Amino acid sequence: MDFKHTNYQIENEYPKLVRDKIPEIIKEKGGIDIQQRTLTSDAEFLGYLLQKMIEESVELKNSDVHNNLEEELADIFEIIDSILALRGKTEKDVRTIQKEKRKKRGGFKKRILMLAKAK
């Protein structure tokens, strides 16, 4: 599977968190050693994971243009998995809360769009 760089502005903001093999892929393709460091602080790592979630959300929003919905969802799942591992949580923990919220507040099946703030 070929992965395409979409080149949105948010993708070009540095410093940014990248997947583990990106530095070696860049070196293999372009012969460039990129400047990098390893994040040792959990708080800093979480901050960059959350920033990466924003980046991937922009890409997901535009996935119809690039025909890469599954790829962008996979990136978001990777971030979620990393946050869960960092915080010592599991997917089951989150799914339980998701089910509780759906029961109390509903999901998005009815596609309701609220047109103004409640007064």
pLDDT tens for each residue of 59-78 = 999 999 999 999 999 999 99
Question: 113: pLDDT confidence band, cut at 50, 70 and 90?
Answer: very high
Greater confidence (6 vs 93) lies with: 93
State the CB neighbour count (10 A cutoff) for residue 72: 19
CA atoms of 96 and 61, how far apart (whole Å): 26
The reported pLDDT for the residue numbered 119 is 87
Read off the pLDDT of residues 9-36 as tens digits, 9 standing for 90 and up: 888 889 999 999 999 999 999 999 999 9
**Given a cut of 70, is residue 6 above it in pLDDT?**
yes
Instruction: Give the residue-averaged pLDDT of 38-49.
Output: 98
**H or E stretch at 116:** none
15: cis peptide before it, omega within 30°? yes
What one-letter code names the amino acid at 72? Answer: E
Question: 5: pLDDT confidence band, cut at 50, 70 and 90?
Answer: low
The reported pLDDT for the residue numbered 8 is 81
Residues 6+ apart with CB under 8 A from 76: 53, 56, 57, 60
Distances (CA, A) of 90 to 32, 104, 115: 37, 22, 36
- Give alpha helix (H) positions in the chain: 22-30, 42-61, 63-66, 69-87, 91-105
The reported pLDDT for the residue numbered 3 is 64
